[in-house]
Amino acid sequence: MNEQNATPTCDVPALWMEHKTALYHYILKRVKDREMAEDILQEVLLKVYHFCLTKSGVRNLRSWLFQIAQNTITDVYRHNQKVKTTDSFPTLAEEDEQQAFQEALPYILPMLDFLPEAYARPLKMADIDGMKQAEVATALGLTLTAAKSRIQRGRELLKAEFITCCHFETDKNGNLISFDIKESCKPLQELKKKNT
């Protein structure tokens, strides 16, 4: 079963340990006060416990947690009658997109190693190093048509590797909003352990 669509178990300590740092930074970024961020984080924890007692299901745990955090921030500002409104906050979808992209970024370069060199190298030069396709062609001794073809094929292969190795969700515009490495993708799981 896809983990993103699974109903969460109520192992609140494990859930909290996995997400509390990201939640804290999410809250702190919005309230700009460490003490208030800690207080809101504790309120979010209480809401998570309360939710788990009701045993309701959630499609996307990460989005759900951040939505609770956003709602709690809004409640605190309303209660304290602060001037800042939720209109000044990035939307949850924007936050998810930025967060998911930042989480995925460290794994994209290593995934290039899964591709044949003939496609990985021109793709890296064009999409990672920012070279123009004509420059890639010259550097690799290829025609412009061949370079474009290899870059496009490299993108397709990288996308296939991404689908094979990662759980992810996109919004209606195709923007990445949630990301995690599949247990079955051993090379990236090892890299994930090193990064944490």
pLDDT in tens, 76-116: 766 665 434 444 444 444 555 556 556 666 777 788 888 89
CB 177 within 8 A of CB 100: yes
Q: Which two tokens stand for residue 108?
A: 């994209």
Average pLDDT in the chain: 74
What CATH number should be reported for the domain holding residue 137? 1.10.10.10
Long-range pairs for 120-123: beta carbons < 8 A, 24 or more residues apart: 120/154, 122/147, 122/150, 122/151, 122/154, 123/150, 123/151, 123/154, 123/155, 123/158
Same domain, 179 and 97: yes
Same domain, 145 and 102: yes
Residue at a domain's end among 71, 89, 107: 89
Q: What are phi and psi of 90, to 5 degrees?
A: -60, 150
Same domain, 98 and 190: yes
CB 159 within 8 A of CB 176: no
For residues 196 and 194, what is the distance between their CA atoms, to the nearest angstrom? 6
Range of the domain at 49: 3-89
Same domain, 155 and 100: yes
Residue at a domain's end among 89, 117, 146: 89
Same domain, 190 and 171: yes
What CATH number should be reported for the domain holding residue 64? 1.10.1740
Same domain, 13 and 73: yes
For residue 171, give the nearest of 68, 90, 63 by alpha carbon: 63
For residues 152 and 164, what is the distance between their CA atoms, to the nearest angstrom? 19
If one compares 26 and 136, the residue with the highest pLDDT of the two is 136
Same domain, 147 and 113: yes
Tell me the whole-structure pTM to 2 decimals. 0.47
Q: Which region among 3-7, 52-56, 61-65 has the lowest average model confidence (pLDDT)? A: 3-7
Same domain, 56 and 137: no
Q: Give, for 169, the enclosing helix (H) or strand (E).
A: strand 166-170
Same domain, 100 and 76: no
Q: In the chain, how many domains are there?
A: 2
Residue at a domain's end among 28, 54, 89: 89
The 8-class DSSP code of residue 126 comes to I
